[in-house]
A and B are shown apart, each in its own frame.
Chain A
Amino acid sequence: MAISEAVRVVVGPVEDLPSGSRRLVVPFRGRAGIGVFNIGGRYFALRNLCPHKTGPLCTGKVTGRMVAVGPPSAGDAGMVMARDGEIIRCPWHLWEFEIASGRCLVDPQVRVKTYPVQVEQGEVVVYAREADLPEQPPDREPPPA
């Protein structure tokens, strides 16, 4: 089966995608490929194509969301980095996206496509569509070392 027709892509063994890391799978169905992320043991996949101006979103910096309690008078803005490791910023124009949902955090009209990811037989597997997921629940346990 040609990769452009793939509905199921094996990213690799779970050991190769530890928490806080990402892998880029390119090309995927002839498109820009996808980025697969492990955030605290949960896997997420995003299209590597920023909906803003088609930049390579998944190559961007994984970071958090800077928040403040109020405008900065007398140093009381209370700026903190929230949800560190859960946000990605496209390297073109630095728009912020929530990795888990694909939601753009600076424009509510914008969302990047997400893909189902799961662990099957100790391997991280991405599906092109929800409908492509196997009917049987996969073995979510990694194989014995």
Chain B
Amino acid sequence: MAIRAGSRPITAPGWTEHKPVGVGLVDCDVHHGVRSLNDLIPHMPQPYRQQAEEQGVRMAGSGYFNVAKDAHRTDLVSGADRPAQDRQLGTSYELLRDEHLDLWNVDYALLTGGSAYGASILPDPDFAAAICRAFNDWTMEQWAQRDQRLLVALAVSVSDPVQAVREIDRLGDHPQVKAIMLPTGSRMPYGNRLYHPIWEACERHGLVVGIHPGNEGAGMAGPPTGVGYPTYYIETRMARPQMAMAHAVSFIAEGVFERYPRLHVLFDECDQFWAIGLMWHMDADWKSLRDQTPWLKRLPSEYFRDHIRVGAQPFMEPENDSQLEAAMQALHADETLVFSSDWPHWDWDDPATTFHGLSERSARRIFAETACEMFGIEARPADAV
């Protein structure tokens, strides 16, 4: 493995300066959100505006801690001449621009939100759809139109597929809208046929189905693990692969990729190692159980490699480089792995130090090409140089 961490020319303090040429870095997980859900009230229709003004914006939580807010990326805010409200990370476009997009020469960043993840598991599907519409309007107005590098993952509530499709049809052809974003926490695995109209709409508009940890165990969602509710936050983090696997197998087994052959599904922040074992084991089991899902024409791993993409954050940290190299090979990382930073969260991965020993080809695939193909954007826009 010739290339070591940091040898790829990405601009950051201490790293080699480089002039961006073409698309070199696509970040598939950058969070943005409202400072308060009440900021969405002006974007909401009646009767929800009045309800929200009277009782606050309803959103279900699961009660697990994250890290302490005053320990969370203090490097981004402490000592900087920034207004106090910007210290709520992910709520300031200027902070994203200065401390991430410009700093690392990010060519495109997918805004994956967060504020409205919980809509999909709220009991009231009409309110859920309304808050998604409000969040999307706010995103387009406050973020997307200010920077062409920002790609938008629409907030969509799956609890009413008809309204989800309506929202995808409303905004899905905007040139910066490239995905929808759903939480891992769900009422049922996402391959279920009740959701197929949503996937049909995504395919029709060329949108990626993004899935990100969120709201597991909250609202109407099932518990975060198959064995019930864990006690501590670290347990919920270790449960993410379980949820990603359940959704991924569901998409494959239910024939979603046979029915919608141009659809892509992106798992952000759910780890990567599970994908290796899943491909191995699902292929092996499919050879025994093929007759139960005979609409599958190919090995499950082939559907995975063609249709499912795995965000690189939090990246595998095995015991040594040879283990990592083997894992990348088994993952078919040049096809399935896309760079994602999870900016601005404490557990983020920067593009320079995270990857050890990538070949030039792998770096190109993981940092840009695979994501460009998934989002249907040109790898080298004319105005890039």
Chain A residues with CB under 8 Å of chain B are 52, 65-74, 77, 79, 93-96, 105-107
Contacts and interface: CB of A to CB of B under 8 A. Distances in A.
Given A94-B288, A106-B286, A106-B287, A70 B255 contact: yes
B288 A72 contact: no
A105 B368 CA distance: 38
Interface of B: 193, 196, 254-256, 258-259, 286-292, 294-295
A71 B294 CA distance: 8
21 contacts: A65-B294, A66-B290, A66-B291, A66-B292, A66-B294, A68-B294, A68-B295, A69-B295, A70-B255, A70-B295, A71-B254, A71-B259, A72-B255, A72-B295, A74-B193, A93-B287, A95-B287, A105-B290, A106-B287, A106-B288, A106-B290
B294 A67 contact: yes
Contact of A71 (B286, B288, B295): B295
B193 A93 contact: no
Q: Interface majority SS on A: helix, strand, loop or mixed?
A: loop
A60 B255 CA distance: 28
Contacts of A52: 287
A79 B288 contact: no
Given A70-B259, A77-B295, A93 B196 contact: no
Contacts of B295: 68-72, 77
Given A68-B294, A71-B295, A77-B295, A94 B258 contact: no
Contacts of B288: 93-95, 106
Contacts of B255: 70-72
Contacts of A94: 288-289
Contact of B196 (A66, A68, A73): A73
Nearest to A94: B288
B269 to A, nearest CB: 29
A119 to B, nearest CB: 33
B225 to A, nearest CB: 28
A73 B199 CA distance: 13
A65 B291 CA distance: 7
B254 to A, nearest CB: 6
A15 B287 CA distance: 36
A144 to B, nearest CB: 44
A50 to B, nearest CB: 12
B193 A73 contact: yes
A65 B286 CA distance: 14
A116 B255 CA distance: 40
B64 to A, nearest CB: 36
B152 to A, nearest CB: 29
Nearest to A69: B295
A68 B196 CA distance: 18
A79 B291 CA distance: 9
B295 to A, nearest CB: 4
A123 to B, nearest CB: 36
B99 to A, nearest CB: 45
Contacts of A66: 290-292, 294
